[in-house]
Amino acid sequence: MPARAPPPDEVSTLIRQNRELNEQVKQLVRAERQLYLSRREVERQLGRTHALNRFALEAGGASEPGEILRALSEMLAGLFPFEQGLGLLVQGGRLVPAAVFALPGREGKGEEELSGRAIALDRAFADELPSPRVLSEPAARKELPRSGPLLDLLSHFFCERAGCPVQPGVVLWLPLWRKPGELAGLLLMRKAKEETTFHCELPADRDSFLEVAARHAAAAVSNALLLDDLKRSYGTLERTQAELVAKERLAAVGELAAVMAHEVRNPLGVVFNSLGSLRKLLGDVRDGAALLDMMEEEADRLDRIVGDLLDFARPKPPNLLPEALEPIIFGAIETARRAVPNRGVDFQVEVRGLGAVVMDSRMIRQALVNLLINAVQALPRGGRVRVLASEEARGGEPFARIEVSDDGPGIPSESAMRLFEPFFTTKASGTGLGLAVVRRFVEAHQGEVAVETSPERGTTFRVLIPVGRG
């Protein structure tokens, strides 16, 4: 039996309901599309947030501003189609290149080309760029009229390469503002061509994400610079503290030395006078004269020790006068010869093209005597002591360089490190003040003294003092 046709009213109701359902389906599809677009945007923003967090962590742990700029470039190249980056820091009113970044195949001239390419920071240019801009290179030349030198710098880094034709690209100008009016740096990110892909679009001009990233970077760069300043301040503080302690010690030693000098030298004066009187009284009595010689020698030694102590602990300001160095060297050699019995030591002196040197000749002579005595004492079986004086330039200034070398067995490294410390000695009868006095006198001339020693080549003390002609 054939199915009964539905009544016409029912058919029209069904058709109407069907149409209504179809309209509802369309609405659902539109809603799903909105949902899809929203989800896509949320994923995009999440991706950016994750990238920013990773960058913040990396930048927070970086101690070099260049590292921070490289990390920022890498993050931006991961999110946007940029291929090259150049990070600049503001230093002393200039924009100084501090980091380069490039994807494989887009490399420029590299880190080694960074130095010597600083350009003056044009304040007006900084004012032109309050927020991130994404501009083609021709557009940048129009809209940022002062951007020319920076575009030229980019070309220098990334375009002038054999086989790499220069193509106008798109540049992200990302100013790193520490706070309004205070620029910490500038990051330029470049893409060779203007075409982009669907999945990796250029950021919008004045993109707020870029502003946040720039603020992070500026803060991290500032922190890194502050940390660097802090480290340097700590270093200075440590040195100052050490100097202060040394000075206090020296002052105490100086007081002691003054008292000791007074208490020892007065009796010594009496001893010397008495010795003189005894010589006259005893006349030619041989044994007596020998005993007197011995007493005088020991009294002399005591006097020298007191003298060394005073030189070290209460040095007088140098009396600077221009003098020739050569006679001072020969005088010092003669004193050293007398001070140490001759053990077959051969002295060689060479003075090369050195005119008058502004110095306290007493101090320099005493310093040389001390060095020469040390050198002779290092040659118990004889040998050669060489004195070489010449002129050398340092930082554009002329310096007198005096080297005292022996061909002895050298100094053990553990001793060499402490040679200039006061009261440090390896000799049974030494006071440990000879080399400390050398350093004190040389430093009083704004000079420096150093030692090189090895078992094969002996020991060389090198003294540098400014010639001071000007």
Partner 1 sequence: MGTAVGVGKSTHRRCRTAGSTAAESALAGLGGHKPGLVLAFATAGYDQEELLRGVSEVTGGSPLAGCSAEGVITHEGSDEGSHAIGVMALASDRLTFDTFSSGDVSAEPRSCGERLSEQLRAAPAGGKLLLLFADGLTANCTELLAGLTERLPYPVAIVGGTAGDLLNFKRTYQYCDGRVASGSVSAVLIGGEARPDIEVSHGCDLIGLEQTITRAERGFVYEIEGRPAWAFFKEYLESDAEDLDALTVAHICLAELLPRANLDYGEHIIRVPLKLEKETGALFFAGGLKAGTRVHVAMRRPERICERAVASARRIAARHPGEDPLLVLQFDCAGRGRLLFGERTNEASIQPVQRVFGNGVPWLGLHTYGEIAPVEGRAYFHNYTLALCALYGAGGS
Q: Which stretch binds partner 1 (CB under 8 A): 99-107, 257-265, 269-277, 312-320?
A: 99-107
The candidate with the shortest Cα–Cα distance to 220, out of 34, 365, 59, is 59
Smallest gap from residue 81 Cβ to partner 1 (A): 6
Note whether 355 and 326 are within 8 A (CB): no
Smallest gap from residue 193 Cβ to partner 1 (A): 8
Distances (CA, A) of 314 to 155, 246, 254, 308, 371: 63, 13, 5, 10, 20
Verify binding: residue 36, partner 1, rule CB under 8 A: yes
Provide the mask over 290-329, with x wherever binding to partner 1 is found by CB under 8 A and - wherever it is not.
----------------------------------------
Other beta carbons within 10 angstroms of residue 248's beta carbon come to 10
Verify binding: residue 30, partner 1, rule CB under 8 A: yes
Q: Which residues, numbered 163-182, are part of the site for partner 1 (CB under 8 A)?
A: none
Q: Which is nearer to partner 1, 171 or 371 (CB)?
A: 171
Other beta carbons within 10 angstroms of residue 232's beta carbon come to 10
Q: Which is nearer to partner 1, 81 or 434 (CB)?
A: 81
Verify binding: residue 8, partner 1, rule CB under 8 A: no
Q: Which stretch binds partner 1 (CB under 8 A): 31-39, 280-288, 411-419, 438-446?
A: 31-39
Smallest gap from residue 159 Cβ to partner 1 (A): 14
Q: Which residues, numbered 182-221, are part of the site for partner 1 (CB under 8 A)?
A: 192, 195-200
Dihedrals φ, ψ of 13, to 5°? -65, -45
> What is the Cα–Cα distance from 221 to 64, expressed in whole angstroms?
8
Q: Which residues, numbered 61-90, are part of the site for partner 1 (CB under 8 A)?
A: 81, 83
Backbone dihedral region for residue 382 (phi beyond 0: left; psi -120 to 50: alpha; all else: beta): left
Dihedrals φ, ψ of 94, to 5°? -130, 155
Provide the mask over 103-132, with x wherever binding to partner 1 is found by CB under 8 A and - wherever it is not.
xxxx--------------------------
Other beta carbons within 10 angstroms of residue 342's beta carbon come to 9
Output DSSP code: residue 343.
-
Q: Which stretch binds partner 1 (CB under 8 A): 88-96, 101-109, 173-181, 241-249?
A: 101-109
Q: Which stretch binds partner 1 (CB under 8 A): 52-60, 98-106, 250-258, 389-397?
A: 98-106
- Helices within 85-207 (DSSP H only): 123-128, 137-143, 148-158
> Which residues are bridge partners to 348 per DSSP?
386
Q: Which of 11, 29, 204, 321 contacts partner 1 by CB under 8 A?
A: 29
CA 77-78-81 angle, 5° bins: 55
Helix 286-313 × helix 208-282 angle, to 10°: 160
Verify binding: residue 16, partner 1, rule CB under 8 A: no
Smallest gap from residue 8 Cβ to partner 1 (A): 21
Distances (CA, A) of 101 to 140, 191, 202, 290: 21, 12, 18, 85
Q: Which of 10, 38, 45, 47 contacts partner 1 by CB under 8 A?
A: 47
Q: Which is nearer to partner 1, 193 or 262 (CB)?
A: 193
> What is the Cα–Cα distance from 426 to 212, expressed in whole angstroms?
64
Verify binding: residue 287, partner 1, rule CB under 8 A: no
Verify binding: residue 17, partner 1, rule CB under 8 A: no
Residues that bind partner 1 (CB under 8 A): 18, 22, 25-26, 28-30, 32-33, 36-37, 40, 43, 47, 81, 83, 103-106, 192, 195-200
